[in-house]
Structure 1
């Protein structure tokens, strides 16, 4: 049963970065997000799309609290708990993050550790720091890790060091870690950008399964519009830091996409997406 509070609520969020100027004349500012609002009321698959520099990754990092937003009326809440507001992180943001799985383009696995240990790190928010540091997992925890690795199809590589695995295998390991974590929402930042199209489709299907079978909300940034339309229910398009489309994937026509991407329109399709 879904909770009464929205899974994600972003209200009037802006984020400004300061760029150091090489020449005399002082620093310049760049508004990556400009009064962005959206709500995810139930577990769904939301794709964040838009041209390079539109604010996709900044929005994802603001939801997780990795970027602090500008001071003002802006606020971010996840599963009914405040992540940040008025430019400050909530004091219990780590507890809220423990319920969010993070999947990045570069996998974010510890290369020298085994795939099993990397997946088991999903328990760190639930066990003591010492037990996690020493890898003192209980029998039940070990079984949970192996179930997660098996669920994503890489159980046979559990004992291998992460840096000996392919990109697709590592990305599956990152998804297994989110499963072990018991994440209720997954934030995936360009999770298929470093993968070949065949492997990318497999990873996207795993995210679909995580949503449909386990009821996990998924927010994923994608450069490939065809992947966004095929694998996601809802599209949130950004341009110059503003939301310019928020609706079903089926409603995103070519004319709208041309207005969003401009000269980058042709490059926004991978052309390999298949069900």
Structure 2
């Protein structure tokens, strides 16, 4: 497996009024990595993920973001070729981002829209290849039995696995998951994290996942990146997140909610 960088962020900043959501952040993500992005609420995690895909523009200045060696944005402007990059990046949202009135199958098939005529997708005229890919993806994530159900009748965990299946139909090489388990019960959350881990280990997908659950970050990801007030304050092995470092990242209140069995 190549360790070539598939995502590169250099000196990226993003301001919302007087507040800096990102403050000179630089980050390289190599092919095949699974990275946890942690930090307090408002630290810039979601802003960073959205900036990587060009969904959020960074400030004008020296900041540059590239994916697969192609420009995503620089100097505060999104590249005109960003669509070529986005088709290879699957984005998993906290609230699933499925169309509730459509079946789970149709939602997953929508992952092919970047490669087929839009009108076919609008009318559900899916090519044979898309139908096969959608059912294979649903089976891969363990929800094929629910293919014909409307998305809004499914549990949160089932919908989130459907969102991951959509990224597989998209043929994404990178999955950016923004708090994918924040709205799920513990059992469903564990299943989603295990699925992302398996897609990384077995299918070679690069995964960057933002998490509030530090125990999930250290359990499923070898590398952890931490943001605090828009600045990158840790980038290293999960084993390096001892109690003192976590308190430095989250503040002294973290001691009160430190998980059982945390590293000393």
What TM-score range do you get, normalising by the shorter chain?
Answer: over 0.9
Task: Give distance in 1, aligned partners of 2:95 and 2:9.
Answer: 26
1:141 aligns with 2:130: yes
CA displacement at 1:270 relative to structure 2: 6.1
Task: Give distance in 2, aligned partners of 1:209 and 1:38.
Answer: 24
Distance 1:67 1:264, change over 3 A: farther
Q: Which residue of 2 aligns with 1:73?
A: 62
In structure 1, stretches of 5+ residues that fail to align are 19-28
Match of 1:148, SS?
helix
Q: Which residue of 1 aligns with 2:152?
A: 163
Match of 1:7, SS?
strand
| C-alpha contact (below 8 Å) 1:15/1:32 kept by paired residues | yes
CA displacement at 1:228 relative to structure 2: 0.3
Q: Which residue of 2 aligns with 1:62?
A: 51
| C-alpha contact (below 8 Å) 1:224/1:268 kept by paired residues | no
CA displacement at 1:233 relative to structure 2: 1.6
Q: Which residue of 2 aligns with 1:2?
A: 2
Task: Give distance in 2, aligned partners of 1:260 and 1:214.
Answer: 32
Match of 1:42 among 12, 19, 31: 31
CA RMSD of aligned residues (A): 1.6
Task: Give distance in 1, aligned partners of 2:83 and 2:201.
Answer: 27
Match of 2:195 among 187, 202, 206: 206
Alignment of 1:221-232 (within 5 A): 221-232=210-221
Task: Give distance in 2, aligned partners of 1:98 and 1:145.
Answer: 16
1:123 aligns with 2:120: no
TM-score normalised by length of structure 1: 0.92
| C-alpha contact (below 8 Å) 1:105/1:189 kept by paired residues | yes
TM-score normalised by length of structure 2: 0.95
Task: Give distance in 2, aligned partners of 1:184 and 1:31.
Answer: 30
CA displacement at 1:42 relative to structure 2: 2.1
1:175 aligns with 2:174: no
Alignment of 1:250-265 (within 5 A): 250-265=239-254
Distance 1:255 1:118, change over 3 A: same
Match of 1:150 among 139, 143, 147: 139
Q: Which residue of 2 aligns with 1:236?
A: 225
Q: Which residue of 2 aligns with 1:13?
A: 12
| C-alpha contact (below 8 Å) 1:226/1:271 kept by paired residues | no
1:224-253: CA deviations, max 9, x gaps? 100000011210001111111000111111
Match of 2:251, SS?
helix
| C-alpha contact (below 8 Å) 2:3/2:32 kept by paired residues | no
Match of 1:72, SS?
coil
| C-alpha contact (below 8 Å) 2:217/2:224 kept by paired residues | yes
CA displacement at 1:271 relative to structure 2: 5.6
Distance 1:218 1:271, change over 3 A: farther
Aligned length: 262
